[in-house]
């Protein structure tokens, strides 16, 4: 089975722009979670989707949003980018209540 894939792998944006990141879960996995990782804050939970519904949300401002499609693929969007949004964004998928598997991440640099 192919693992979790994320696109793009690297991205450079400027302040004020918006960005959309994509995640394709492992085949058969219906749950997708997103995390932000920065050197200062570590790995922080953003949100989790299951069957196109957001089921849990971390403590991030409304500029961070996401969605999930009927094929379980997920996107997250960050609007009005700030310098502090520079981070590694990780997606993880799982089947029902089972183990989460992570993708390689998208490294976003905001200039």
Partner 1 sequence: DAKTTQPPSMDCAEGRAANLPCNHSTISGNEYVYWYRQIHSQGPQYIIHGLKNNETNEMASLIITEDRKSSTLILPHATLRDTAVYYCIVRGTGGFKTIFGAGTRLFVKA
Residue 95 binds partner 1, judged by CB under 8 A? no
Size of the chain, expressed as the number of residues it contains: 111
One residue of 20, 45, 67, 95 binding partner 1 per CB under 8 A: 45
Minimum CB distance to partner 1 smaller for 56 or for 80? 56
Within 8 A by CB and 6+ apart from 51, the residues are: 30, 68
User: How many CB atoms are closer than 10 A to CB 5?
Assistant: 16
Minimum CB distance to partner 1 smaller for 51 or for 80? 51
One residue of 21, 34, 78, 103 binding partner 1 per CB under 8 A: 103
- Site residue total, partner 1 (CB under 8 A): 25
Q: Which of 96, 50, 54, 111 is nearest to 77 (CA)?
A: 54
CA–CA dist 21, 15 (Å, integer) = 16
CA–CA dist 105, 40 (Å, integer) = 17
Contacting range for partner 1; rule: CB under 8 A; set: 13-21, 65-73, 76-84, 96-104? 96-104
What are the residues binding partner 1 (CB under 8 A)? 4, 31, 33, 35, 42-45, 48, 50, 55-56, 58, 88, 90, 92, 97, 99-105, 107
């Amino acid at each position: 089975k192919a693992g979790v894939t994320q696109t793009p792998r690297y991205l450079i944006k400027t302040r004020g722009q918006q960005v959309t990141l994509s995640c394709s879960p492992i085949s058969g996995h219906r749950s997708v979670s997103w995390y932000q990782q920065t050197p200062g804050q570590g790995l922080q939970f953003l949100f989790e989707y299951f069957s196109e519904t957001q089921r849990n949300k971390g403590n991030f401002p409304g500029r961070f949003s996401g969605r999930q499609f009927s094929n379980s693929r997920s996107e997250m969007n960050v609007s009005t980018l700030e310098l502090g949004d520079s981070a590694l964004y990780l997606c993880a998928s799982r089947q029902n209540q089972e183990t989460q598997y992570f993708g390689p991440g998208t490294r976003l640099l905001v200039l």
